[in-house]
Structure 1
Amino acid sequence: MFLPMTMQEAKKRGWDEFDFICVTGDAYVDHPSFGIAIVSRLLESLGYRVGMIAQPNPQKPSDFQKLGTPKYGFWVNGGNIDSMVAHYTAAKRRRSNDAYTPGGKAGKRPDRAVTVYCNKLRELYPNANIVIGGLEASMRRFAHYDYWADKVMPSILVDSKADLLIFGMGEKQTEVIARHLAGGGQADQVRCRGVCYLTDQLGLPADAVSVASFAKVSENKLSYAKATHTEIEEQDHIRGKHIIQKQGNNLFLVQTPPMEPLSQEELDRVFALPFERMYHPSYEAMGGVDAIKEVEFSIMHNRGCFGNCNFCSIAFHQGRTVTCRSEQSVIDEAISFTKNPRFKGYISDVGGPSANFRRPSCDKQLLHGLCAQRKCLAPKPCPNLVVDHREYLDLLRKLRSIKGIKKVFVRSGLRYDYMMLEKDDTFMRELIEFHVSGQLKVAPEHCSPNVLDCMGKPHIEVYERFSERFYRLTKEVGKEQYLVPYLISSHPGSTLQDAVNLAVFLKKHHIRPEQVQDFYPTPGTVSTCMFYTGLDPYTLKPVFVPTTQEEKWLQRSLLQYFKPENRRAVATALHKAGREDLIGSGPGCLIPPERSHAGAGAASSAGRAQGAKNVRAEKNSGSSKEKGKDQRDPAFYGRRGRGRSAPAGTPKTGKNSRYAKKGKR
């Protein structure tokens, strides 16, 4: 049974008031891929009466008042992804649809939804407890650069006027806070792990580290980069300390140390909550909610990611420590699918932030926490890293043996660099033979070493070895399957020459991306810090940042050099990069010579015109990340956590490949 969205539904349960009311920027989808669904079901399991207000209109007070005044307080989130990302492309153009809204209609939530919702609640319920959480609140907990406003904004606690902020995966905090409020306490008095609160100087904890104030990071980019470094490094539940940041005159933000991850038993209990695994039936007449399509029959078996890519929100939100559900919990969920009349026998994914992580990266971190200023996999794997796919492989074998299940897919989120550290081919062979649906998505992201270093990714040689092994094993098992590499253009560190090198790499490997993702500076990530400051927060060394519309378009066009409409822009880019040798009819050239070439100046003008045309087109089409995966999969922003999504691309190998037959060589 869904939680009540109206008083009529509440009365059917015999309720005339609610203990807690959850307010969300998404449609109400009762599925564990949705953070608000977990929070609401957890509160229900603790014995509280919980109501849901989904996508209220800030211009209609009645939307916020329809369930009355909650006995203990409101829980507010902006949805599975930041509301600004839900509304705008990387080019800051309005999206034409929203997969988290009934019928896919765009604009059903306000910009900066958490702030708008909380301000309206504070106006209507001046004395109510308001607790915020979810990705939008979590990633904006400190003073942060806002790409859409192009300025540094204070902690979202300041602008929202909420009492308390939960960061990270909030089940433990939710229980502590709920019991505190039910016992007569106030939300702004909570001091458990995993929360942020505002206080004056007298209320500051003694055992804390300080970062530069909101005023300082707003005017000094070096201070911003140093603050980011400290904020990132203290996000470890074992060694992390309190963090203090001044927000205004005698107003300080305090982040308590991160909450301990759920144990396996606790995680199993969360996924055993009575989710309906579907959107509320009231949305059916509106066309349903598209976001459910990719996750209804998918399984999340883990949380956290020690991959820690710089452009991804997971390390700052979920954390780097990997925790997993038990095999039995996952199997029970799969068996429940077979009893669902909508299930057709296909499990769409068995994954998480990184699908093939079933344990922490090493045993040392269990006592001492994850290493500061070091990554487990990049640029080279740590010698202490423990690589073991046996448990994950055993889980996949058991899932595909369940009666009523035809196929179990692993669609994305696989760390190929982790796979390449295995001593034999057992896991990869079975993955290719049984769990790939024709295409396997992996994320090399770029090919240039300096760009990959800025991304926190392994160098491209690892991907090349993986590709060779993938196609060899694919041939050995008698299948025709392809890799789909995710790529990002215009990431900090990427010069025009780097983009040219990537185009050459794609040409060499017969990869033709159908869509390309420009780097999207979302709040709270290391890459966004680089974008804003031009500095690497770990080293404080300068980083080149492509910022102009023309430069971004030229880099993006190079990744699709084979498209006739991009030819002028590619010519401009090659002239600017001094790589005219790539214009010609030779096998290594990217584009043919122009019939009547008017010089780089004319090409540049045409490139700018094409760039403007592309931006206009993007308003309606979007990239694969913007229009597709980001909209339906909370992974990119932390709940399931693949951490990124970018263009689809398929290698064309062999004169008899099905792609060659279609004339797409």
Structure 2
Amino acid sequence: MKGFLPICRRDMEERGWHELDFVFISGDAYVDHPSFGPAIICRLLEKHGYKVGIIPQPDWHSTKDFDRLGKPRLGFLVSAGNMDSLLNKFTAAKKVRHEDAYSPGGQAGHRPERATIVYCNRLRELYPDVPIIIGGIEASLRRMAHYDYWSNAIRRSILVDSQADLLIYGMGERAILEIAADLQQGVEVANIQDVHGTCYRVPNKDYAWDYIELPSFEAVRKDKKTFAEAFKIEYLEQDPIRGRKLLQQNDEWCVVQNPPAMPLSEEQMDEVYGLPYMRTYHPIYEKAGGVPAIKEVQFSLVSQRGCFGGCNFCAIISHEGRIIQRRSHASLIREAKILTHMKGFKGYIHDVGGPTANFRRTSCDGQLKRGTCRGKPCLSPEPCKLLVADHSDYIKLLRELRSLPGVKKVFVRSGIRFDYLLLAKDDFLYELCKYHVSGQLKIAPEHISDRVTRLMGKSNCAVYLRFVEKFRRMNERLGKKQYLVPYFMSSHPGSELSDAVELAEFIRDMGYHPQQVQDFIPTPGTLSTCMWYTGIDPMTGEKVYSAKSYEEKRMQRALMQYWLPKNHEIVRKALHLAHREDLIGFGPKCLVRPRRETRPAKPAKKV
């Protein structure tokens, strides 16, 4: 298919190719857009002279589909896709999801559970000696021994279970080009051991040097305190400048993790996002109705990567890192001009942002020289004294974008850190409310209990309320009717039933009726998951309570939507258990009414 990378032999023949250098196996449908990791890696390799093909969502029940493009000259690249395959399949209650935004027509069932492992094992059956390099979010966050919520067990490094040769963690552009160059020069894959942002296997510790040893898989599997200790070491070394090499025994193999890759420079970010993407899904999905995930990003711009916000339930620290990497204004304007000529563009750029939209610079000036501070968050529970809160570059960028011919409106829909916004002495809130909000602004206070927000790595309720008031006054000044849409999370570590009731009362008093609420899911690689599994905050050693039973998780979630009739019974039960019967009744502060008692019918009157 013209313009897209080869997905079958016919595509190769049309290009005059008889053999590929790399074949990319992806758990997602093929969407050639820079918001999709496989597209970035494949296009980058293509630009650097390699012949690349992609096999999206192969049928894993046999090896047939994996041989669709033949044996690659240099190696297979494998990713489960833009999401962990188990998170993609199961909800927080471990129920099967019925939709998959990364599959044709949004239909579930197009990828296996633990897709990275399944795909690699099929490839090993087919081509035992061809190098296999795994990457993507699933491989990245399961690179060392980790807790797996869906099996409720500690699992080995995915590098061992998949039988892959190398694992790329984080954003893999630098690593894949170094690996490709080594393979091209004839270096055996087993000897590629010095690439930052990668993990490799060795038979024992004698094959590694200058490392910090983590407690073994067997040790962390047997003892939760040891797991927390291992997690802390790994977590604190997630820095490309000061981070050190780690080693962990995983049964018969030692897994070695090199320090994270260095952040991309502005020029390198521009290169990545300036590649010749088709910016849509492959035409083979047209009959199925396309790939739903493209809708959210097709007319959006990624302006930066990384996040120093430090939310403990988020995997960004372990994947993209805390150091902000940004694109130039020229690069973003070029892409915006491309959007204005695309089919379906109606004048609206849906988003300009990244993990956190209003982070366009490093949190302090010394970060690129010395790295991030070891064990010291930038924003919570209190902002660091060295933090530089400055939106000037972002304001200038937004002004340039909204002045482009053909652009009617530029929205900001990525996450906004309101605590960072409050620290800045600039006009960002004015610009945001006047030009870049579509009536509603989504923000994520996540909780209002001080105990919970501290364990989340979020600012407390008082900070949120200051922002609410400032937002209200600004819109009043502008003569606009615009509203905040807050996101809250239930059952995060530290949240007891009393905290959930406190949140419900806050929602009541603020007049909120959240239509979407999130139940905490212990995904691999996050600090919050470590707390949830071990009952220990690995940073401080303090004990942490977590709601683990289905019943309590259901109660905490229902309290956030206490007004829904389907939740009344479980909310009443929660209030009784929390000894808050004062919230059951007919008064203005009550959350639910008492249960209707079934009374015996009055006897009929005698005639």
Q: TM-score normalized by structure 2?
A: 0.97
Query: Which residue is 2:504 aligned to?
Result: 503
Counterpart in 2 of 1:272? 274
> 1:440 is paired with a residue of what secondary structure?
strand
Q: Which residue of 1 aligns with 2:33?
A: 31
1:570 correspondence with 2:593: no
Aligned residue number for residue 454 of structure 1: 455
What CA distance in whole angstroms lies between the structure 2 residues aligned with 1:298 and 1:408?
9
Q: State the distance in 1 between where 2:389 and 2:173 align.
A: 29
Aligned to 1:216: 219
Q: Corresponding residue for 1:331? A: 333
Q: How do 1:46-65 and structure 2 match up within 5 A?
A: 46-65=48-67
- Which stretch shifts more, 127-136 or 415-424? 415-424
Q: Match of 1:420, SS?
A: helix
Instruction: Kindly report which structure 2 residues correspond to 1:7-406, keeping only aligned pairs within 5 A, or say none.
Output: 7-191=9-193, 192-201=195-204, 203-249=206-252, 251-406=253-408
* Alignment match, 2:605: none
Instruction: Report if the CA contact (8 A) 2:447-2:503 is conserved.
Output: yes
Letter in 1 for 2:90: Y
C-alpha separation in 2, matches of 1:178 and 1:253: 21
Conserved? CA contact 1:26–1:78, under 8 Å: yes
Which residue in the other structure is 1:634 paired with?
none
Aligned CA-pair RMSD: 1.2
- Aligned to 2:423, the other structure's residue is in SS state coil
Could you say what secondary structure the match of 1:294 adopts?
helix
3-state secondary structure, aligned to 2:64: helix
Q: Give secondary structure in 1 for the equivalent of 2:254.
A: strand
> Equivalent residue for 1:639?
none
Rounded to whole Å, the distance in 2 between the matches of 1:200 and 1:222 is: 27
CA positional deviation for 1:412:
2.7
CA distance in 2, matches of 1:597, 1:462: 47
The 2-side partners of 1:550 and 1:577 are apart by 14
Residues in 1 aligned to 2:538 and 2:388: alpha-carbon distance in whole angstroms:
28
Q: Distance in 2 between matches of 1:366 and 1:65?
A: 44
**2:250 aligned partner, one-letter code:** Q
Give 1:492-641 correspondences, 5 Å limit. Answer: 492-596=493-597
Contact 2:26 2:78 in 1 (8 A): yes
- Residue 402 of structure 1: how far off its partner (Å): 0.2
Once residues 223 and 435 of structure 1 are traced to their aligned partners in structure 2, the CA distance between those partners, rounded to angstroms, is 48
CA contact (8 A) 1:131 1:187 kept: no
Please give the secondary structure, in 1, of the residue aligned with 2:286.
helix
SS of equivalent to 2:290: coil
Moved more, 128-137 or 54-63: 54-63
Cross-structure match for 2:434? 433
* SS of the residue 2:504 aligns to: helix
SS across alignment from 1:350: strand
Q: Name the % identity.
A: 54
Q: How far, CA to CA, are the matches of 1:20 and 1:206 in structure 2?
A: 31
CA drift of 1:512 comes to: 1.1
Distance 1:428 1:67 in 2: 52
Q: Aligned-pair distance for 1:61?
A: 1.8
Matching residue of 1:662 = none
Distance 1:43 1:493 in 2: 45
- CA deviations on 1:560-617 (whole Å, 9 max, x unpaired) are 111122122111111111111222222222222333399xxxxxxxxxxxxxxxxxxx
Give the whole-Å Cα distance in 1 for the aligned partners of 2:259 and 2:571: 49
Post-superposition shift, 1:203?
Answer: 4.5
Aligned-residue offset at 1:221: 0.1
Unmatched segments (≥5 aa) in structure 1:
599-665
Q: Which amino acid aligns with 1:540?
A: G
SS at match of 1:337: helix
CA distance in 2, matches of 1:325, 1:298: 14
Residues 505 and 23 of structure 1: CA distance in aligned 2, closer, same or farther (over 3 Å): same
Aligned 1:444-483 pairs, distance under 5 A: 444-483=445-484
Equivalent position amino acid for 1:177 in 2: I
Larger mean CA deviation between 334-343 and 136-145 belongs to 334-343
User: Conserved in 2, the CA contact under 8 Å of 1:500 and 1:574?
Assistant: yes
Aligned to 1:602: none
Deviation digits for residues 79-108 of structure 1 (CA, Å, limit 9, x no counterpart): 000011111111111111111001111010
> Which deviates further from its counterpart, 465-474 or 137-146?
465-474
Matches of 1:110 and 1:593, distance apart in 2: 46
- The one-letter amino acid paired with 2:305 is R
- Structure 2 unmatched ranges of 5 or more: 600-607
